[in-house]
Structure 1
Amino acid sequence: GGRGLCGANAQVVAVKAVRIHLVWFCPRNFVPPCYRMMKTRAGNADQTEEDAEGAKATKAALTSMPYQCQELILYGSVFADNLPDLERRLTGLCDPGSTEFHEHDLSFSLRTGTDPDVTIRLRRRFNVDSFNSHQWQFRYIGGPEPDQKCPVIVRKVIDSIAYSHLMMDFVKTLGLRMDYEYIAKGTVWTNGKMKVVISQIQKTEKAGYYDQSNLKRFSDSYLVEMSVCLPDSAEYTAV
C-alpha cells in the first residue's frame, strides 16, 4: 500500500496455507556467499581466505539487520472545510510531491489473559482488483511506552509483507481475532524521515461487502497522523 514500509531492510513473509518462509531484501551491492565461493574457485586460490572472511562478514551484517523499530506518532483531526488550507501548508513545508492511497485495514488482537492484548494490523490496497491480490502488509504494534521526555506516543512496531490467498485462515491459526476493519483513502507527505498521513475513514455496514452502497463515512473530519520511525536502540531528541 501507499503507507507500507518495504525498504532495503524490510522483512518479507510468503505464506502458503500455514507455511511461512522468511526472506530478507538484500542491499544492492550484496553478493551471495555461494557466488563468492564459486568465483573464488575459478580465480586465484590466494583469495580464498579473504573471500571467506568477506562472506562471513556479509552474513553477519545481513542477520543483524533491524526488523523492529520504535515509532513516534501523533494523531489529530481536521474538518473537511479546513482540509485545503492544511494541504497547502504541507505542500510548502514537506518534500516535493505526495502519494495518494486507498487501503483496506483490519485490526486483530491476540488475547493473552493477563498481559495487554497483542495487536496486529493487516493492510492491502483497496481497488477493483484488490480482492484478487493476495499481498498484505503485516504490522505488529506494541503498547505505548510512557516517557516524560517525549510528548508523543512511543511504541515498538514490526513491519513485514505477507502473500497468501488464505490469509483469513492463516490468522485464525495464529489465534488472532478481528476487532474491526475500515477503508482509508487519503494522501501521504514526507519531510525527511517524518511522514504525514491525511485520510478519510469509511466503514462497511455489512461485513465482507465493500461496494460503495455499503461503505459509509465515520464523519466529515479527516484523520491526521504524523510519525517517524527510528532504530529500536536509537535515542530521540526534541527538534
Structure 2
Amino acid sequence: MEGSSLAPSLKNIAPQQEYLLQGSILDAHRDTLLHRLRGLCDNAESSFEMFNDYEAVYTLRNSSTTQQNDPFLFRVRRALDHPDAADHIRYLGNAEIGLGDRRPTLVRACLDVACSKNVREFLTEMGFRMDHDYVARGVFFHKGRMKVMVYKIYKLIQPGITDAKNLEQLGNSHVVELSVVAPLGQEQIGEDMKNFADQLKPLVLLEKLDHKNL
C-alpha cells in the first residue's frame, strides 16, 4: 500500500487540526520558565504534571519516482512511566503554509488514537520501517484547551532500548511546545495562542516552524 493512497483516506476520517508553536530554552533557564508557566496556566496550584515517553517514527516510502523524498509517517508513542497505558499512534499531515498564509501558528492535519501493544509489528508487516526513535522527558501544563510542554529529548544509543544507560541527551536546551488539537475552521485559536506566547517573551520565542524546511 502506497503512502499517496493512504493520505487521502486519513484526511477523510480525521477532521482535526493541530495548531502548533515551537521554540527552545537553555537548561539553565528552564526553572524560570516553569515558574512563569505555573503563574499563567490552569494547574498553577498543583505540582508539575510529568511525562516520560518513548516515541518511534515509522516511514513508508512511496514507490513513485516523483515522491521519493516525501515518505508517509506514523508516530508510535508509549508512556514509560505508565506501562499499563495504551500506546498511541499518530499521523501528522504536512504544514499548511503558503505564500499567502498569515496565520500566526503552524496548522496541520492530525489523527491520534490509542492502539494495542503490537502496533509496531503491525506497521512492519504493512511495509513501514522505523526511521528513528527517542525518549522525551518533561512537564506539561494546560491553559484552557492549550497544552504547553517543556521537555528534553534523549537519543537512544541502541534503537528500542529505553534503559537509562542507553540514553544520551541532545544538546543543552529544552524543547517548548504550545499546541491545540481542534476541529477544522477554528482560526481564532491561532490568535489566542499567539497572545499566550507573547507572555513568555523574552524567556522563549515560540514560532511556527515547518520541519520540512529544517
Give the TM-score of the pair, scaled to structure 1.
0.66
1:110 aligns with 2:60: yes
1:163 aligns with 2:97: no
Q: 1:134 to 1:196 in 2, by over 3 A?
A: closer
Aligned position for 1:139: 90
1:76 aligns with 2:23: yes
- Tell whether the 8 Å contact from 1:118 to 1:141 is kept in structure 2 after alignment: no
| Distance (whole Å) between structure 2 residues aligned to residue 175 and residue 100 of structure 1 | 34
Aligned position for 1:26: none
Percent of pairs identical after alignment? 31
| Distance (whole Å) between structure 2 residues aligned to residue 83 and residue 214 of structure 1 | 24
Aligned position for 1:185: 137
Aligned position for 2:173: 221
- Tell whether the 8 Å contact from 2:55 to 2:78 is kept in structure 1 after alignment: yes
Aligned position for 1:99: 49
Deviation per CA, 1:145-185: give whole Å up to 9, x if none. 11522132110000101013x33320112221211100011
Give the TM-score of the pair, scaled to structure 2.
0.73
- Tell whether the 8 Å contact from 1:100 to 1:186 is kept in structure 2 after alignment: yes
| Distance (whole Å) between structure 2 residues aligned to residue 168 and residue 197 of structure 1 | 25
The Cα RMSD (Å) is 2.0
Aligned position for 2:73: 119
Aligned position for 1:36: none
The amino acid of 1:122's aligned partner reads: V
| Distance (whole Å) between structure 2 residues aligned to residue 186 and residue 134 of structure 1 | 18
| Higher-Rg member (1/2) | 1
Q: 1:90 is matched with which residue: 37, 40, 52?
A: 37
Q: 1:238 to 1:135 in 2, by over 3 A?
A: closer
Structure 2: tracts of 5 or more residues without a match? 1-12, 193-214
- Tell whether the 8 Å contact from 1:75 to 1:225 is kept in structure 2 after alignment: yes
- Tell whether the 8 Å contact from 2:14 to 2:109 is kept in structure 1 after alignment: no
Deviation per CA, 1:189-211: give whole Å up to 9, x if none. 01001110011111111123222
Q: 2:102 is matched with which residue: 142, 149, 152?
A: 149
- Tell whether the 8 Å contact from 2:79 to 2:85 is kept in structure 1 after alignment: no
1:187 partner SS = strand
The amino acid of 1:172's aligned partner reads: T
Which structure is richer in relative contact order (CA contacts within 8 A, separation 6 or more)?
Answer: 2
Aligned position for 2:4: none
| Residue-pair matches, total | 170
| Distance (whole Å) between structure 1 residues aligned to residue 91 and residue 160 of structure 2 | 23
| Distance (whole Å) between structure 2 residues aligned to residue 134 and residue 78 of structure 1 | 30
Aligned position for 1:4: none
Aligned position for 1:205: 157
| Distance (whole Å) between structure 2 residues aligned to residue 72 and residue 138 of structure 1 | 18
Deviation per CA, 1:63-96: give whole Å up to 9, x if none. xxx7431111011111111011100110011112
The offset of 1:135, in angstroms, is 2.5
